Amino acid sequence: MLFNNAGISAPGIPMEDLTYEQWSAVVAVNLTGAFLCAQAAIKLMKAQQPRGGRIINNGSISAHVPRPNSAPYTATKHAITGLTRCISLDGRKYDIACGQIDIGKRRHGNDRAHVGGRSQADGTKMVEPRMDVRHVAEAVVYMANLPLDANVQFMTVMATKMPFIGRG
């Protein structure tokens, strides 16, 4: 099993102010890194006996709706959705299942990161509701423990009151 979980973002600045280096860094970690890890895992999963395995890609709420000034992060998370679908299709004949978990705000050790709130579509900042990170772990474990003839293609886990529906 592979859990593709690495991810970074660029500064929350207007797209026209981003440097090529900032854009490239996010693409390298979020998309190219996930591709390279999946590629290596697929080679192993196809060659092992019994063959097969599971890849779980960490998407994001941003795979569905963006935050203001988040072009590199949002673009890569949309791309992860495409990568997930391609791995699912191409992996079927080798008993490789692939799914994606889209995770909302969660409480963890770095809670200081957004003390002032996150930018909203209307230009305001808001401290968003968060869930316990344990719920994310439980969701990943659920996906990972399914037999290879069953798959969660896409799952969204988020705080009930997080502004997702209506965001954007």
154-157 β-sheet, strand order: 2-4, 53-58, 96-103, 154-157
* For range 36-50, the mean pLDDT: 98
Is residue 113's pLDDT more than 60? Answer: no
The token duo for 97 is 């299942």
pLDDT of residue 114: 56
Q: What is the pLDDT of residues 73-92, one digit of tens each?
A: 999 999 999 999 999 999 99
Residues 6+ apart with CB under 8 A from 129: 105, 159, 160, 161, 162
- Do the Cβ atoms of 2 and 56 come closer than 8 Å? yes
Give the dihedral sign, CA 36/20/116/163: negative
Q: CA-CA distances (angstroms) from residue 45 to 97, 99, 132, 137, 145?
A: 10, 16, 32, 23, 16
* Count of C-beta atoms within a 10 Å radius of residue 69: 17
Q: CA-CA distances (angstroms) from residue 29 to 4, 24, 75, 142, 160?
A: 11, 9, 13, 26, 29
Is residue 29's pLDDT more than 50? Answer: yes
pLDDT of residue 163: 73
Q: Cα–Cα–Cα angle for 54, 65, 5, nearest 5°?
A: 30
* For range 39-64, the mean pLDDT: 95
Q: What is the pLDDT of residues 119-163, one digit of tens each?
A: 666 677 767 777 889 999 999 999 999 999 999 999 999 888 877
The 8 Å CB, 24+ separation contacts for 149-152 are 150/97, 151/54, 151/88, 151/97, 151/98, 151/99, 152/99, 152/101
pLDDT of residue 115: 61
Is 73 a known active-site residue?
A: yes
| Catalytic member of 20, 73, 94, 142 | 73
pLDDT of residue 6: 87
Higher pLDDT pick, 111 / 58: 58
DSSP 62: G
